[in-house]
Amino acid sequence: MRSVFLLISCALALAAAPVVAASLHALTVYGEAPKYSAQFRHFDYVNPDAPKGGSLRRAAMDIGQFDHLMPYIDKGIGVSQVDGLVYAPLAVRSLDEPYTVYGLVAAGMELSDDRLSLRFFLNPRARFADGSPITGEDVRYTFDLLMTQGSLRYRAQFADVSQVVVEDDRRVRFDFKNRDSRTLPLDLAALPVFPKHWWQSRDFANGGGFEPPLGSGPYRVGKVDNGRSLTFERNPDWWGKDLPVAKGMFNFDHFSVEYFADIDVARQVLRGGGFDYNREFSATGYTIGYAGPALEDGRLQRAQLAPKGLQPAQGYVFNLSRPVFQDRRVRQALAMLWDFEWSNRQLMRNLYIRQQSYFSNSPLAATARPTPAELAILEPLRGQVPTEVFDQPFQAPRTDGSGFIRDKQLQALQLLAEAGWHPVGDHLVNANGQALSFSFLEAQASLERLLLPYKRTLAQIGIDMQIRRIDPSQYLNRLMARDYDMIVTGYPVSASPGLELYNYFGSAAATDTGSGNYMVLRDPAVDRLIDGVVKADSFQAMMNHAHALDRVLQWNHYWIPNYYPPGTSTVWWNRFGIPKVQAAYDEAPETWWEISPTPLTTAQMAERNAGAAR
């Protein structure tokens, strides 16, 4: 029967497209074998026997209040956990491989040999929460909805999809304009599927408000406290609960997300037992903010989870549309004057590692002299990119940590003089008499402790930087309008970067509302190097282009590189079980389970675990 089914499937595929390949349970970027075979029973980083029940309450990653539930649009703040918990994707990304996806809503995937089409075979058991089947038409509808009303990132990411063909209720095919992007098939496989019959009568473009959406995932939206908290309720009859990609996952009956206007408030609420789990973004908060008896006896746990995880690249970015920042020497001088070593020692407990790359903590970071292969990529750009990219590895400016950086100030003054800035009284001015002045826009009070020393250092040589803090909603609107001089931002780092690079650094996205190109960067050389990363036909070719791209971004001084932690700084109350083998690239709380309704000391947890083992 299996062979007959395969023959029929192949015949149908041949009728629809001229070049076909076998149906696969997983997709990888360059066609390499996935870690898990088609017969795998569960991921290595789960406990397949984890008990169901209990609850976990965590703080949201976003600061401020959510004003709708759906996280797929650019307006306002949505609830990110809706993606994955309420809406199951076509395929799930594993958390212990650089970039591999395994079928969920799609029982099988078929990438044509010419890489110009991708077919999904939908699982016949796949259902929405109202019992209606997930169909090929729902997949097509979802794609069209995201491309017309969803976030700009979808239009950039999927621009090379020429059409979506619904072949029948269980088969849908995506045809591509070209085979340039190796990650496009995997990005499409990560799409959620929305119920057409439900969303046709609702306002998706504005996030659907606070109405619990009809989903297809392991959870439903339960209690909604508008803007403040949301509780997901596990669906015990979820159609996908026994699939290998779901085994040992989604163990809590209730999963809650709490929103706070300030990270300091969130920290105090956790210490008071108001919720269970917090991802810390403050070094001081992480190192001393939880000190007390609970941390000492182990009821409160603190650890750097997922130490191999790729950390976002973070920095103070210049709005390159501002005239003051259009000279590379000015940007280089300003970057020279931020004293990371002093800030890390005095303000951040020496927790952090200095950012040296846009692909931090990954093999894609350009940390050595360029190889012959990289030079071959860069050579056609000579004259368009800084000369340093051809023979020097980039290193962020370094100080002795004493707080005295007179040598850096003198170097910066020399660069600024070359760029046309000279002292008049207490200020640096240009030939038109305009003072070197700009503002730093931010929405977090905690950021000011890092900016105030920087402001003082700048003022000492005649540069005026104003720090302007506004509320999160105003901040978001000004980001979208590119109405700022400098901000702090981060860029997700992927081991297999693809079309998202156009969103962050591509010229076409520079002024598009909702894009991540907060530098307002328009650089043809950068565009060309992104093309090379996206179109690379092997992992090594992608690495070479990524290194070349990293060098050009680094040496243009488009940002002041910040720092990243040695893992994911996480604090939680000690009442959960955690798999013995943890996910390499994510802290993965969805793999945890409840052991006790109240926190246990280290000794109590050890005794509990020993008893369970016996």
pLDDT at 261: 85
pLDDT at 22: 66
Q: What is the pLDDT of residues 74-114, one digit of tens each?
A: 888 999 999 999 999 999 999 999 899 999 999 999 999 99
Q: How far apart are the C-alpha atoms of 523 and 527, rounded to whole Å? A: 6
pLDDT at 7: 35
Element (H, E) at 533: helix 524-535
Q: What is the pLDDT of residues 185-196, one digit of tens each?
A: 999 999 999 999
pLDDT at 513: 82
Q: What is the pLDDT of residues 297-348, one digit of tens each?
A: 999 999 999 877 788 899 999 999 999 999 999 999 999 999 999 999 998 8
Element (H, E) at 571: strand 568-573
CB 114 within 8 A of CB 185: no
pLDDT tier at 21, thresholds 50, 70, 90: low
pTM: 0.80
Residue 438 clears pLDDT 70, i.e. is over it: yes
| ∠ CA 272-277-281, rounded to 5° | 95
Neighbouring-strand partners of residue 174: 118, 164
CATH class of 313-564: alpha beta
> Among 328, 326, 323, which residue's Cα sits nearest to residue 388?
328
Of 282 and 58, more confident: 58
Mean pLDDT of the chain: 92
Q: What is the pLDDT of residues 130-164, one digit of tens each?
A: 999 999 999 999 999 999 999 988 998 899 999 99
Q: What is the pLDDT of residues 562-601, one digit of tens each?
A: 999 888 999 999 999 999 999 888 899 999 999 999 999 9
| Six token digits for residue 140 | 């097509």
Phi first, then psi: what are they for 458, rounded to 5°? -65, -45
Q: How far apart are the C-alpha atoms of 423 and 461, rounded to whole Å? A: 8
> Among 169, 488, 208, 159, which residue's Cα sits nearest to residue 338?
488
Topology of domain 2-49+90-205, CATH:
D-Maltodextrin-Binding Protein; domain 2 (3.40.190)
Q: Which of the residue ranges 11-25, 391-405, 430-444 would you say has the lowest mean pLDDT?
A: 11-25
pLDDT at 585: 84
Q: What is the pLDDT of residues 198-211, one digit of tens each?
A: 999 999 999 999 99
Domain coordinates of the chain in residue numbers?
Answer: 2-49+90-205, 262-309+567-614, 313-564
- pLDDT average, residue stretch 52-80: 93
> Among 313, 268, 261, 221, which residue's Cα sits nearest to residue 77?
261
> Among 523, 531, 440, which residue's Cα sits nearest to residue 484?
440
> Among 214, 213, 232, 236, which residue's Cα sits nearest to residue 223?
232
| ∠ CA 418-422-424, rounded to 5° | 180
